[in-house]
Chains A and B, each alone.
Chain A
Amino acid sequence: MSQQQTAGRGASDASRPAGGPNGRRPSREPFADRLAARLGSNSLTGLFFKLVFLGVVNGLALYAVSTLLPLRAWTPLLVVVVATLALDAVYLSRRTLPLKFLIPGTIALLVFQVYPVLYTAYIGFTNYGTGNVLTQDQAVDRILAGATRVPEGATRFRSTPLVDDADGTLALLLTDPDGDVFLGTADGLESIDEGDVAGEGRDIVVADRFRPLTLGEAQQREDEVLDFAVPISDERAAEFDEGVNAEAISVQTFTTAAVAVTALELDEDTGNIVDTVEGVVYEPVDGVYTAEDGATLRPGFRTVVGFDNYEQVLTSPAIRGPFFRVFVWTFAFAMLSMLTTFVMGLALAMALNDPRIKGRRLTRSLLIIPYALPSFMTALIWRGLLNQSFGPVNRMFGLDVPWLSSQAYAGALPKFSILLVNLWLGFGYMFLINTGALQAIPSDLTEAAKVDGASGWQAFRNVTLPLLLVAVGPLLIASFAFNFNNFNVVFLLTGGGPPIGGTPTPAGHTDILISYSYRLAFQGGRGQDFGLAAAVSSIIFLLVAVFSYIGFKRTAVLEEIN
């Protein structure tokens, strides 16, 4: 949020020079100027840069459209087209001056902020997760396709799909396990002799009529080929199906066919799936076709399930158990991470702000290194460093400290370690912003305070710190919110461990809300549960939003001091 505010300010500043009246200059190129004016620009140079900019934007949009179109991703497609047209309209018109500065930010805000939040909230109301990834139509297709089964003991054939070039009729050349050869057509099965098959390999001609279908041709008529079935009469059935009540030999693959039964049908009127053999009706319940006795059909489909996920969050024993202590630790972790990095960053920034210190530039550059390294690498390296038996930290100092695995005092030591690593990761950032903010505070203010008889501490406490907090306050809130969800550090350093013990489902001493909900949603009993994960994320979002709101309120008070 803070970035947006500053960026917003920058944009309105930029609008000032642009606001000058147009057309007062003596025009040396009347036509060009008129053209530029009509297209909403003050001069040809302006027009040139605008056209280049719009050209790039439209080019990118065209590229996006060309990739989205074959994917049939209609929503993103619509967004891209509307956003591009809006940009074009705003920039090519004279009447929409303020919008020119607002619209790029607005689009970015919608795409990168609002959309993910809304989408996450939406997923929280669905059952999206393992077993429920398909759309309802896709799921029905899969259920019906899987309904054709080759029963135990039924005959399997080697099969070659055939075609009659005269009228395109399909047929099958079937060989049963005993080596008997049959010709199967849509009318039925007939035994044939070797004499009916002329030629060799792929060039055979069957019954003077059919030739083998190539795989390429079969691909063209895939549905037809896969649905092709040879009806079998009752006396034949006894021969092949060993008591299976089958009516047809159907294509299994390009080279096999088998006696198969189809039991399931979609009832178009009710939308239920009916097992015609057993007489069972499966109704869609929360994304799964379910019979009265609780039997279900696989796969399920994605659907909106209302507040089910939230209900699960509130009623599950998994959550009721360790939730409170995880929540308290999350808050403590975020708060302490923010405070320790801020204090250390500020102390270093103030020290290096003092002109008496030599080599300030080099020291400053070195201090930024931990911040510049990818945090997941640093976390993994620290995991190795703090390894109890083999880690360099213990070895170098001849210690045997269980930095990451001690369960004593509610995991106080691993909690300390994780804060330490997070301090290492975060102080560089705080150092950077504090250095910048300190340099913006006029030194005559502190000097004036000293003239008035304030001690160094008093000057810092009453002059420097309040001014500093006005500048970095929003960033502290951002740091708190970031650490509230600092999944990487927790997951890579301790994995949430060591285990708390005695909890109904696994939970660790260093688990924060986001790593704990990861356990719930992705290490649960049913594979991955994106719906539940999104519901928990939405709750965390609300929590962070409330904390941030309170925080911003308080920095607003600081600003009034200014």
Chain B
Amino acid sequence: MTSWRKWAVVPAAALVLTACGNGTEEPTTTEDPAEDTAEPTTEDTEEPTDEEPAEPEPDEGAEEEGEEIARADADLVIWADDTRAPILEPLAEEFGEAEGISVAVQEVPFDQIRDLVSVQGPAGQGPDVFIGAHDWLGELAENGVVEPLDLGGAEGDYLEVATQAFSYDGTNYGLPYSIENIALVRNTELAPEAAETLEDMVEVGTSAVDAGDADLPVAWQQDPGDPFHNYWVVTGAGGYVFGQQDDGSYDAEDVGIDSEGGLRAAEIFGELAEQGVVNSDVTYDVMIDTFASGRAPFAVTGPWALPDFGDVDYVVEPLPSVDGNPAGPFVGVQGVMVSAFAENSLAATTFVLDYLGQEEVQLELYEAGGRPPALQSAFDAVSDDPDVAGFGAAGETGRPMPAIPEMGAVWTAWTDAYQNIFAGNDPEAAFEEAAEQIRNTIDAG
């Protein structure tokens, strides 16, 4: 039966060859760089407004890396993550029935929406409407893939920080639905009194550790240095990352990390590191474990951590003042945007402006996501929830995270600076070097 064998060999050989083709991807290396790095990009630069800032989700990223999501076959296609999709679905259906068009809500992992909108939108395979974080705007607007959205005078109905965040270069690009920022979470048993100042916090924390009641003075995520979770110290000390123009937009020419206030922040941070109040080795998991087991009087974290805090008695409060000044964290804003390549931009903008701006919708999104709503009336309606009120109060002094693409140059350089401080190097020199590196990187780009 030679012929039988012969023909069995061919498909097998074909398979083997194909497999080899795939296998050699590893050694020869020069695959499409976009594919290779898609996952780390989102993880790193998007870290702060991502759902869970520094908790990497490797399995999700790796499995779905480079995966394309085909546009659903409908007049109006909406992309949302698994938390928001179920809420938008009935609304979209109602809208579709009322207007006589077909709608589809597609579930897309939150951290993939940004890249996919840029890649698939221009190819005609993107959504009409998608949810996202305001700090994607720099990239999306520069790429020309997001449609300006005229709130038509409704701007005043939203928290100021929310509309400021969604305005890029003087144009509004989204309808905000929630805000998120970090705050000071206090274990009421270990620290019965609110920490008004940084000194209070340090004192209560260190004495709890000295007394053996706690493992960490403050559960404060770093690993190996975290510009996002440390920014409040910088603003409290009078520093800033990029200067803000009168209309609130950020100026990439004005790097404020080595400004007088920035250097003061470096000094404070050097002291905190020396006292062991901040520790380079505290990961997200260590932060959660320590606070949830009642072994830290404070945690510096955001609403994403609350579900993991178990039955610890805690209150959410504004971050303590630094040098007597209120300290403001970065504020991330989530919202709904319309694709510039929407197949049906009339329906898309109508749906976003007339349906999603309603108070009930904002409240429903709040119920599912646990983040304070961006619509003032909805925000007020839920402010009897102490957690929301606490995070809201902490965010009042906050600044929208810069959405300009130049922010990409900040994270690594500033992380390195904190790492240098932890290693015992001169704090001010570390910040000066970071500022210089950021300027160089921006100039080189």
Contact surface of A with B, Cβ cutoff 8 Å: 1, 3-4, 7, 10-11, 14, 17-18, 20, 41-43, 45-46, 49-50, 53, 67, 71-72, 100-101, 104-105, 108-109, 111-113, 116-117, 119-120, 123, 130-135, 138-139, 142-143, 145-146, 150, 156, 177, 214-216, 218-219, 222, 225-226, 252-256, 258, 298-299, 312, 316-318, 374, 376-377, 380, 384, 387-391, 404-405, 407, 477-479, 481-482, 484-485, 487, 491-492, 495, 497-499, 501-506, 508, 514, 518-519, 521-530, 533-534, 537-538, 540-541, 544, 548
Contact = CB atoms under 8 A, between A and B. Distances in A.
Contacts of A17: 2, 5-6
A497 B292 CA distance: 30
B44 A112 contact: no
B345 interface: yes
Contacts of B28: 1, 113, 117, 481, 541, 544
A503 B285 CA distance: 32
A72 B354 CA distance: 34
Contacts of B143: 130-134, 299
Contacts of B111: none
B14 interface: yes
A560 to B, nearest CB: 24
Contacts of B8: 49
Contact of A254 (B24, B56, B138, B350): B350
Contacts of A527: 138-139, 142, 405, 408
Nearest to A407: B423
Given A130-B405, A146-B148, A216 B100 contact: yes
Nearest to B145: A133
19 contacts: A10-B13, A14-B9, A20-B2, A45-B4, A46-B4, A49-B7, A105-B17, A109-B21, A123-B32, A130-B139, A258-B150, A299-B142, A312-B444, A390-B282, A391-B281, A495-B224, A527-B142, A527-B405, A537-B33
Nearest to B40: A491
Contacts of B411: 523
Contact of A219 (B27, B223, B346): B346
Contact of B29 (A45, A100, A389, A544): A544
B152 A256 contact: yes
Contact of B437 (A135, A479, A485, A503): A503
B444 A506 contact: no
Contacts of B346: 215, 218-219, 222, 225-226, 253-254
Contacts of A216: 75, 99-101
Nearest to A13: B9
A14 B3 CA distance: 11
Given A498-B423, A533-B33, 10 more contacts: A11-B13, A108-B17, A108-B20, A113-B24, A123-B32, A215-B346, A254-B347, A316-B444, A506-B437, A526-B405
Given A254-B347, A541-B29, A10 B16 contact: yes
Interface of B: 1-11, 13-14, 16-18, 20-34, 36-37, 40-41, 44-45, 56, 58-59, 62, 70, 75, 99-101, 118-119, 122-125, 138-139, 141-145, 148, 150, 152-153, 169, 223-224, 252, 279-283, 285-286, 340, 344-347, 349-350, 353-354, 405-406, 408-409, 411-413, 416, 419-420, 422-423, 425, 433, 436-438, 440-445
Nearest to B7: A49
Contacts of B152: 156, 252-253, 256
A495 B28 CA distance: 22
Contacts of B443: 525
Nearest to A377: B58
Contacts of A3: 20, 23-24
B54 to A, nearest CB: 12
Given A120-B32, A225-B346, A389 B279 contact: yes
B69 to A, nearest CB: 13
B101 A42 contact: no
Given A527-B139, A527-B405, A519 B3 contact: no
Contacts, number: 335
Given A498-B224, A525-B252, A130 B142 contact: yes
A481 B24 CA distance: 10
Contacts of A108: 14, 17-18, 20-21
9 nearest CB pairs, A to B: A299-B144, A112-B21, A525-B445, A525-B442, A104-B14, A499-B416, A527-B405, A49-B7, A526-B445
Contact of A497 (B125, B224, B283): B224
A116 B56 CA distance: 29
Contacts of A525: 252, 405-406, 408-409, 438, 441-445
Given A104-B13, A482-B26, A534-B33, A523 B2 contact: no
A1 B189 CA distance: 64
A426 B345 CA distance: 52
A317 B437 CA distance: 11
Nearest to A45: B4
A185 to B, nearest CB: 20
Nearest to A528: B41
B13 to A, nearest CB: 5
B437 A504 contact: yes
Given A111-B21, A525-B405, A506 B412 contact: yes
Contacts of A67: 70
Contacts of B419: 405, 497-499
